[in-house]
Amino acid sequence: MDRRNDRKRKADNRHAIKGSPKKRRRRSSKDSHLQYGYSDSFEPSPFYIENRKKRERDRRRKMIVGWPLAVLSAVALILVIVTLVAYLPQFYIERVTVSGLRLIAREDIMELIDKSPGEHFIGGIGGEPIHYLTLRYGNIEDKIKDTLQLVRSVKVQFRFPSEVRVTIVEKTEILAIRIAGGFALLDSELSVIRIASERDFDIPVLEGIRLESTPLINEKIEIGDETQLFSAINITASLIEHDMKNDANSGRISLMQLVRQIKPITDHTFYLFIPLSQGGEIRVKLEDNRSLQDRLKVLSYLLGEGDLQSRGSGELDLTGHSVFFRPDAT
C-alpha cells in the first residue's frame, strides 16, 4: 500500500513540474554586456558618444555647404556652354551641302530649306525628340518628303562646324512597263515614279503585263497577279547588284544597259532580250531562283570574254545545269 502511494506521489510531482509554465528571464542591459564579454560594471564612454555626435554634425554641415556649391557649378557650366554656342562663329551657318541627287534638281531642294548662310544653326532644330539630340531639322525633312515625291528618305542635319548637310535617297527606277502612249517607270515597291512618252531611260521594259487601271504617278501599279511583276523586278534588281559588284572601272560590261526587254514565259522564267550591233538579238532564258547571281556571272563572261555577241542571233538557255546556245536558223 505504501509502495503504491509512493508511486502516485512521484507521478503527481512529474505532472506538476511538466505543467508549470516556464518563466522567461528578461535580459537586462547588463546582461547584454555579458553577451559581448564585458563585465557588469561596463558603461559606454561619454567621450565616444560625444565624438559620434560631433562627426554627425560635421557630416550634415558639409552636405549643407556642398549642395549649393554643386548647383552653382552646374549653372556656371551651362552658362559657359550657352555663351559659346551663341557667339562662336562655328555655330553659324556658312554652307548648305546636298548629296544623293540623281533625278531631282538641287534648286528644288534649296527652295524648301529655309536656312541660309549667316543664320544661327539652332533655329528649326527639332521635330521628334531624338532630333534635338542629333541636331536634325525634322520639319524641313517632312516638308521635302511631302513636296518631292521622288524622295524616298531625307536627312537634314547640322554638322560642326558651320554646315547644314542634306542627304537625299531617291526612289530608283528599276523597271519600265509599256502602257498606252508610253512607259510607266517603277521602283522596287511597284510605285510609279514617272511616265515617259518615249524611251529616254536605260532600264529594261517588261512586256506582256496586263494592267487593271491607268498608272498614276506616286501610286502603286494595279495588276491582277503580281507574281510575274515581282519576279521581273527581282531580276532587274539582280542585274543592278551584279553591275555594282563588277565596278565600271574594271572594264566589264553593264548587263543593265545591254538588256532592253524582258518577256515572261512562266511566273518565274523570262526571256531577256539583248540587241546586237550587227542586227538581230540574243534571247537569254533565265529563271528567278537562288542561283540567279551565278547565272548572271556566266552571262557577263559569255558576252564579254566569251565573245557570244559575235555568234549572231540565237537563244542562250541558262535555266538548266548546263549552258546551251542555239543559233537562229538563217
Higher pLDDT, 33 or 262: 262
pLDDT 10s digits, 156-190: 999 988 899 999 999 888 899 998 889 999 988 88
pLDDT 10s digits, 247-275: 655 556 789 989 999 999 999 999 999 99
- Candidates 195, 318, 320; CA nearest to 259 is 318
CA distance linking residue 313 with residue 164, whole number of Å:
54
pLDDT 10s digits, 45-97: 555 566 677 777 777 666 665 667 677 777 777 777 667 666 677 788 899 99
Strands 205-206, 261-264: pairing kind: parallel
Grade residue 39 by pLDDT with cuts at 50, 70 and 90: low
Strands 95-99, 163-170: pairing kind: parallel
pTM for the complete prediction? Answer: 0.61
Q: For the domain with range 90-170, which CATH number is right: 3.90.1150.10, 3.30.565.10, 3.30.465.10, 3.10.20.310?
A: 3.10.20.310
Question: Is the distance from CB of 324 to CB of 304 less than 8 angstroms?
Answer: no
Q: Residue 56: its pLDDT value, please?
A: 76
Q: Residue 269: its pLDDT value, please?
A: 95
**Exposure of 119 in the CB half-sphere (CA atoms within 13 A):** 15
Average pLDDT in the 22-40 region? Answer: 49
CA distance linking residue 14 with residue 20, whole number of Å:
10
Grade residue 33 by pLDDT with cuts at 50, 70 and 90: very low
Q: Residue 329: its pLDDT value, please?
A: 81
Residue with cell string 551584279: 242
Q: Residue 24: its pLDDT value, please?
A: 47
Q: Is the pLDDT of residue 301 over 50?
A: yes
Grade residue 40 by pLDDT with cuts at 50, 70 and 90: low
Domain boundaries, the chain: 90-170, 175-327
- Candidates 201, 17, 31; CA nearest to 103 is 201
